[in-house]
Structure 1
Amino acid sequence: MADQLPQNIRDALQKRVREALDHWSARAHEPVLMKYRENAVFRITLEDGQFAALRLHRPGYHDETSLRSELHFMAALKLGGLDVPSPVPTMNRQSLVRLPANRHFPDQHADVVSWIDGVPLGQSGTPLSQSIEMQEAIFFRIGQNMAAMHALADAWEPPERFRRPAWDADGLVGEKPLWGRFWDCRGLSSESTIALSALRHELRRALANVDRQNLDYGLIHADLVRENIFLTGTEGNVAFIDFDDAGHGFRLFDLATTLLKNRSEPAYPAIEKALVSGYRSRRTLSDAALASLPLFMVLRNLTYIGWLAERPEIPDAAERLSRYVSESLEMARKLNTAA
């Protein structure tokens, strides 16, 4: 979406990022807007010549404590050997700065994290370009790294005042889900509202039942879509970026998120098998737990309805909203058929 922004917004963002850059030792190159979604992400050049990513955080999405907690989590994963961005401190050794409101922006926070040199696995809605054999190798490695991330999270002791969102039953199908009330939001037909409301109650019951099976729960990334998985180098290595939604949740939610947008791939069965095999090569995942994967894929798909309804400015928002509703209801019907 960065290249679709009106010029006046791009100009305002450039002024805002230069304001933030006053806090870091960076060269006077023009910051390059790379992404404009939850955050505005710019590529900058540090004094040592290394690239880094400066993030202007979306006002009101996370408070200061939550943003600091995200940076602590990334730093812990990096220290544990996972290929993820890590915080770059300001000249005053701070990890986060607050930018005061001006006529273009309200109060917001900015930080800088290390640059991941690689390319995204792909884009949602565009077929994967790699051979089937390469896809299998990549998703096996993704599964390994995902399992390593979960293990590092369990071994880590967060600092005091650590706070991140919870992708639990309340965060997914409670009265105030993290990404919005998907059954009660702008753009839905009355028929969709009725169907999604009924589905929400069904899923609350289903989730309560699987919860009693002691599914693995802890800190997760929560948004490991193609765009947030980077291919680095020629050895099949992968890196994870964008921990903006990381929090507490079912570990199956991470697997479901990675698989969801690949369901239409011709090699999907091989992709799912490779991801699960890679995960199991590093961490226990029982068959009983894995049986709940389709449930979490429905839950994941529903979150996009609420997310999109709150962002009508996104191109083709109405069309995509309708598609997410149809997909969710169809996935739920298959879930009930298989039950």
Structure 2
Amino acid sequence: MRTELDAVAAAALEQYDFSPEAVTLVNVSENLTYRVDDRRTGRSVALRVHRPDYHSEAAIESELCWMDALREDGAAEPPRPVRARDGARVVTVVDARGRARHAVAFEWLPGRAPDPGGDLVPGYRVLGSIAAKLHAHGSRWRPPSSFDRYTCDYDTALGPQARWGRWQEGLGIGRPERDLLARLDGEIAGRLADYGTGRDRFGLAHNDLRPANLLVDGDRVQVIDFDDCGYSWYLYDFATSVSFIEDDSRLPEWTAAWLDGYARCRAVSADDLAMVPTLVMFRRLLLVGWIGSHHEYAAEAAELGAGFTRGTCALAEAYLAGEFLTPSPYRSR
């Protein structure tokens, strides 16, 4: 499998004007990301190879379109895409199974993600302010008529055709787990329906704004990986920022810091605050499905395994009892 995927990356690189003397796989998730070093010129890029049937070429171009607008308007500094020899920003190759695979090369940015073992409170405050700026921009920006990005709502995340995998097919799902998580699912569905999708709370967002998608270089902080950008609840960006670590005892501190940073740039209502636990559990249940559908090739999913489902059940019990991430620790000051 690895040889086949590396061949796709090599075929994509043939369409660019640089000599890839060193190609290193750095991440496997929805997509594959390689670091490509051209030692002749000293240039490095990040090559993202998309998995089949995830985003269309038009959807990827739309992602790049919003990144352009954010950069031009000074709302964020996402990496610039590198054009292929023919001027294209999205290249397409055919893999060994005859499937079209899209790829994009981005400039390689300096910096590192925040240290997960360190004090993440300052980072979450920065994440909150960045999210607010992205949302403010997305709410006023008028995309072109060709703009095509998905919507992340209950139906696409947890419904029968769940985009990231059905939680019912997650790892370690037996009868007790299914019954408990079905109750959780129903509660989430009801609360999201009551909250609604008004323009003040639902719109264009990053949708994967984790600390791992920040690059810190001195005083400069840049956001990367807009691959999941689309339309969702704005505070879902907080839920994504605590992906896989929703059971950490520091969650209330991170929540308070994120909301503090967010509220300095964009208003947060009492209704918004009340929805934070639900959006976190919405994301957590989505990830149960993601692990179930990705564990055979994504190392992170394989490592989390059935233990993530057990942890989700424990969180579900607390949430259904009204004891998960209660509003008081992070009420606006």
TM-score between the two structures when normalised by the length of structure 2: 0.86
Q: Which segment is superposed worse, 250-259 or 81-90?
A: 81-90
Distance 1:17 1:214 in 2: 40
Distance 2:182 2:168 in 1: 5
Partner residue of 1:297?
A: 280
Contact 2:180 2:313 in 1 (8 A): no
Partner residue of 1:130?
A: 118
Give the counterpart letter for 2:91 in structure 1: V
Describe how 1:202-221 pairs up with structure 2 within 5 A.
202-211=187-196, 216-221=201-206
Specify whether residues 11 and 269 from structure 1 end up closer, same or farther in structure 2 by C-alpha distance, changes over 3 A only: same
Partner residue of 1:3?
A: none
In structure 2, list runs of 5 or more residues that go unmatched.
328-333
Q: Which segment is superposed worse, 108-117 or 290-299?
A: 108-117
Partner SS, residue 31 of structure 1: strand
Distance 2:7 2:251 in 1: 44
Give the counterpart letter for 1:39 in structure 2: N
Instruction: Give aligned-pair identity as a percent.
Output: 28
Distance 1:336 1:233 in 2: 38
Aligned residues: 320
Partner residue of 2:312?
A: 325
Distance 1:53 1:94 in 2: 16
Partner residue of 1:238?
A: 221
Partner residue of 2:268?
A: 285
Give the counterpart letter for 2:163 in structure 1: L
Contact 1:23 1:90 in 2 (8 A): yes
Distance 2:62 2:77 in 1: 18
Q: Does 1:191 align with 2:180?
A: no
1:115-164 C-alpha deviation (Å, 9 max, x unpaired)? 22111224xxxxx3334xxx333222211111111112123222223222
Query: Cα RMSD between the aligned structures?
Result: 2.6
Per the TM alignment, residue 279 of structure 1 is displaced from its structure 2 partner at its CA by 0.7
Contact 1:304 1:324 in 2 (8 A): no
1:115 to 105, 108, 112: 108
Give the counterpart letter for 2:272 in structure 1: A
1:150 to 135, 142, 146: 135
Contact 1:256 1:297 in 2 (8 A): yes
Contact 1:309 1:321 in 2 (8 A): no
Contact 1:225 1:261 in 2 (8 A): no
Give the counterpart letter for 1:323 in structure 2: R
Distance 2:158 2:6 in 1: 38
Partner residue of 1:30?
A: 22
Give the counterpart letter for 1:151 in structure 2: A
Partner residue of 1:173?
A: 158
In structure 1, list runs of 5 or more residues that go unmatched.
1-8, 123-127
Contact 2:213 2:224 in 1 (8 A): yes
Give the counterpart letter for 1:201 in structure 2: G
Specify whether residues 160 and 45 from structure 1 end up closer, same or farther in structure 2 by C-alpha distance, changes over 3 A only: farther
Partner residue of 1:125?
A: none
